[in-house]
Amino acid sequence: MSFIFFLGALFLFVAITNEVVLEKEQEVDLWVFKFFKTYIIRNGLTPLMYAITHFCSTVFVQLVYPFLIVMLLIFKYYRKAIFTFVAGAGGMILIYLIKIFFQRPRPPYPLLYKESGYSFPSGHATLSFILYGTLAYFVWLSNFPKTVKILMMFFLMLLSLSIGISRIYLMVHYPSDVLAGFCLGYSWLFFLIYWFRIKYPLSA
């Protein structure tokens, strides 16, 4: 079943790339922006969205990844440290290469501030899924009670989803950028989990 989701994520990423980047179709993106403006964007909600988006900012990622890797090394979880490094570094390289290749401009009218760089795919969405998905996978491999595992994994995935939504809310990414980012993050993380299970099982 997980392999079917992997293929589905890859297919959706390719479909989004073809539709909105190559053919430059923006009707759905613009409709979602209009929906957010009409029904979701509120003055009281904006500070929360601004705070949530920073849980996968460049500075945050640059601090969290080294800290997480060092802690894993200290507690002698060497394979998990390597997994974390490969997941994060590989994800950043993928995002950089894809952004440079497609060079999609960002939305022209952000809610609060403009961001530099290209728009497709959303780096926040991709890296948040990789980072919090990695933590969720480690939780699943832990000895916590099953109920605790499920709750922790749900929270981590909800945080990743919220970060993606915050990028749409703040209008610094098109919705298709965010969805493509989640697909890319899921595909990369699934590939690593599969490869490590065969070559270097993390539970060993």
What is the pLDDT, as a whole number, of residue 3?
78
How far is residue 34's CA from residue 75's CA, in Å, rounded to a whole number? 49
What is the pLDDT, as a whole number, of residue 94?
96
Question: How many CA atoms lie less than 13 Å away from 129 in the CB half-sphere?
Answer: 24
What is the pLDDT, as a whole number, of residue 139?
96
User: What does the block give as tokens for 176?
Assistant: 């298709």
What is the pLDDT, as a whole number, of residue 50?
97
Q: Which residues of the chain carry a pLDDT beneath 50?
A: none
The 8-class DSSP code of residue 112 comes to S
Q: What is residue 138's three-state secondary structure?
A: helix
What is the pLDDT, as a whole number, of residue 22?
87
Could you read off the pLDDT of 144-175 as tens digits, one per residue? 999 999 999 999 999 999 999 999 999 999 99
Give Cβ neighbours of residue 141 (< 8 Å, ≥ 6 apart): 202, 203
